[in-house]
Amino acid sequence: MKICMIGAGAMGGVYGGLLLRAGFDVTLLDVRKDHLDAIRRDGLKVEGVRGEHVIAIDAHANADRLPSFDLAIVFTDANATKDAAAIAARILKREGFAMTLQNGIGNVEALVDTLGYQRVVAGVSMNSAANPAPGRSAYTNAGMTSIGELDGRDTPRIREVARMLNAAGIETEIISDPMSYVWSKFVLNCGINALTAVTGLRSGEMYRTPEVNALQDRVIDEILLVIERKGVKLAEPDPRKKIKEHCRIRYNKPSMMQHIEQGRRTEIEAINGALVREAHALGLSVPYNETIVAVVKGLEKSRRQALHEPPIDYKQREAEAEAEARRG
């Protein structure tokens, strides 16, 4: 099975690198030039819980000259899912299919809109990873990967994907209702990721800071109200307990926290932002989540300005603002 990893950052690098190391045919596709240059020059460095490996792997910036693939694994952030779906449509064989293991909701739907229901499988990854430098992926926590057909069938292709991932050292199970797992991971992410991003605290630090721990409870209250009113089936029977237990023992950096630190766009619109949209569609008010979304967006802007844009001439900005005010 020829595999294209669409999105080769932290998680995509870990999955792609370990799959290739296990003997499977993997090509990486990513948009970051410095990351690709480092991989081409020095190999992909995968480090962490499965040891340290330098892996020579084919890596590309665009899909124009790529061959056809049997499987596209989508590991872009949620902002790029529609673009990833269009790429998958171009590179997959007629019988090929895509699998999303992304955070947030809306990714499965975006792939189905482009590829069709029968050409998409879904799941969640409870693994953690980081991208500490160009060309490097750090496997920071090994957890379960759960995958399944959208219609719940047990098919040869889903068995083969599970077999390959397990052979690569990525523990994987087949599930009959992947969307219940997607929504459960969504609830977990809503309850943790944005709070780490706005506070700068890792999960275990949040848990041990009483004021932030109490704020998290209010955020979870709103999340569970939306889930109840929407009638969503969750794979996790007690999501509040799951979130709190996760925070009690884990000190990893969620991807949203990493993106804020790096001055990158976060996935807030597919996580707490999506929760807010779902709430409004149901006529519900979720002020804690609305506030967190606004603060994340403010942090995105300030960190981008500080890290990736020229210094701002605020005197010039004030002069322009005063002139604008005089014009009415």
Instruction: Please answer whether residues 296 and 266 qualify as being in contact, where contact means their C-beta atoms are separated by less than 8 angstroms.
Output: yes
- The domain made up of 2-176 is a member of CATH 3.40.50.2000: no
Listed in order, strand segments (DSSP E) in 76-156 are 92-100, 120-125, 128-130, 136-141, 145-149
Tell me the per-residue pLDDT of 303-313, one tens digit each, with 9 for 90 and over.
Answer: 999 999 999 99
Query: Average pLDDT in the 153-170 region?
Result: 98
For residues 29-43, average pLDDT? 96
Tell me what the mean pLDDT of segment 213-234 comes to. Answer: 98
C-alpha 58/C-alpha 39 separation (Å) is: 9
Three-state DSSP class for residue 280:
helix
| Distance of alpha carbon 124 from alpha carbon 183, whole angstroms | 9
Give the pLDDT mean for 167-195: 97
The domain segmentation of the chain, as residue ranges, is 2-176, 181-308
β partners of residue 27: 4, 58
> What is the pairing mode between strands 44-48 and 136-141?
parallel
On the question of pLDDT at 328 being above 90, the answer is no
What pLDDT does 1 receive? 95
Q: What pLDDT band is residue 300 in, cutting at 50, 70 and 90?
A: very high
Residues 191 and 217: their CA atoms lie apart, in Å, by 8
The mean pLDDT of 148-175, rounded to a whole number, is 98
Tokens 């449509």 appear where?
Answer: 89
181-308 carries CATH number 1.10.1040.10: yes
Q: What is the largest CA-CA distance in the chain?
A: 69
60 residue type, one letter: H
Count of Cβ atoms closer than 10 Å to residue 255 Cβ:
25
- The pLDDT score that the predictor gives to residue 176 is 96
pLDDT of res. 162: 98
Residue of higher predicted confidence among 328 and 230: 230
Map residue 4 onto helix, strand or coil.
Answer: strand
Q: pLDDT (tens digit, 9 = 90+) per residue, 50-81? A: 999 999 999 999 999 899 999 999 999 999 99
Residue with tokens 């500080």: 306
As beta bridge partners, residue 137 has 46
Arithmetic mean of pLDDT over the chain:
97
Q: What is the Cα–Cα distance from 288 to 326, expressed in whole angstroms? A: 37
